[in-house]
């Protein structure tokens, strides 16, 4: 069964029956399309639902001789991952700098980058299923901003998580995973 396919639409759009559909675009612009079977839970348009494929269009100004079709499409998919990391950084504090002072903003950027790294390692080492790939805002809502209490008694500490919290089980497993990690050397 075919999983994905790519094609270039530039010629079709430039010399279509209704005239040049890309007349207002730069002359060297190429339009690539990727067709793939959708992942479960993907948001599809009615057109995509009817055909059973997910379509992604890519506009690039890289010439065909410099970058063949499959390489251009693969380069775009890697770039899309970079955009995911940028969005994660913005959600972790890079969207708003706190001061007019360069030194304070530099410290803020370093703190936000450390936050991104900590969230990435937390997802990798301590989270399972959908939380292992969750956005920072989802992790904050489900796990990090839970109203749990640290209780001391009988010479030990216990974390009390409300039983009504929908993600109580996932939070307990994440805490257990953190406690099982070896101490840093």
Residues 6 or more apart whose CB falls under 8 angstroms from that of 30 comprise 8, 10, 59, 60, 61, 62, 63, 64, 72
Confidence of residue 17 (pLDDT cuts 50, 70, 90): confident
Tens-place pLDDT, residues 99-116: 999 999 999 999 999 999
CB 4 within 8 Å of CB 36: yes
Which pLDDT score is estimated for 1? 54
13 closest CA partner among 77, 63, 78, 57: 57
pLDDT tens digits for 81-105? 777 888 888 988 898 888 999 999 9
Whether 149 contacts 160, CB under 8 Å: yes
Q: Please state, in angstroms and rounded to a whole number, the distance separating the CA atoms of residues 78 and 72.
A: 10
- Taking the C-alpha atoms of residue 83 and residue 85, their distance in angstroms, rounded to an integer, is 5
DSSP state of 37: P
Write down the mean pLDDT value for the chain: 87
Sole residue written with tokens 């360069």: 102
pTM: 0.60
Mean pLDDT for 35-46 is 86
Q: Closest Cα to residue 60, out of 4, 6, 10, 5?
A: 10
Q: Rounded CA gap, 127 and 143, in Å?
A: 10
Highest mean pLDDT among 9-23, 54-68, 112-126 belongs to 112-126
Cα(123)–Cα(34) distance, integer angstroms: 29
Query: Has residue 77 got a pLDDT over 60?
Result: yes
Comparing 69-78, 145-154, 155-164, 165-174, the range with the smallest average pLDDT is 69-78
């Amino acid at each position: 069964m075919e999983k994905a396919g790519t094609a270039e639409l530039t010629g079709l759009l430039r010399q279509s029956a209704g005239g040049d559909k890309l007349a207002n675009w730069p002359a060297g612009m190429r339009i690539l399309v990727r067709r793939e079977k959708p992942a479960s839970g993907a948001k599809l348009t009615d057109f995509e639902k009817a055909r059973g494929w997910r379509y992604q269009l890519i506009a690039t100004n890289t010439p065909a001789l410099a970058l063949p079709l499959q390489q251009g499409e693969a380069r775009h998919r890697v770039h899309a991952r970079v955009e995911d990391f940028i969005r994660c950084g913005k959600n972790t504090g890079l969207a708003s700098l706190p001061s007019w002072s360069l030194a304070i903003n530099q410290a803020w950027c370093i703190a936000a980058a450390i936050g991104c790294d900590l969230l990435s390692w937390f997802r990798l080492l301590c989270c399972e299923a959908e939380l292992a790939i969750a956005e920072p805002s989802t992790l904050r809502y489900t796990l990090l901003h839970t109203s749990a209490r640290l209780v001391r008694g009988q010479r030990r500490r216990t974390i009390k998580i409300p039983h009504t919290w929908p993600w109580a089980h996932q939070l307990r497993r994440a805490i257990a995973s953190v406690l099982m990690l070896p101490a840093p050397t």
